[in-house]
Amino acid sequence: MSLFDFFGMMTNDIAIDLGTANTLVYKKNSGLVIDEPSVVAVSTD
C-alpha cells in the first residue's frame, strides 16, 4: 500500500485545531463540537 493509497482512505469528517489557547474540534455537518482550554503538563522529576 502506497502513502497515496493510505491518505485516500481518510475522510474529511473532522478537523482538529491544536494551535491556539483552546483545542477546537469541528465535525462535518455539526460544526464546532469541542472548544476546551489546551493544557500542557510538565513533570520535573
User: Which parts of the chain fold into alpha helices (H)?
Assistant: 3-8
Residue type, 26: Y
Q: Cell numbers 520535573 label which residue?
A: 44
| pTM, to two decimals | 0.57
CB 22 within 8 A of CB 8: no
**CA–CA dist 25, 30 (Å, integer):** 10
DSSP helix/strand/coil, 6: helix
pLDDT value of position 44: 92
Tell me the per-residue pLDDT of 17-38, one tens digit each, with 9 for 90 and over.
Answer: 887 789 898 888 889 998 999 8
User: Looking at residue 38, what DSSP letter applies?
Assistant: -
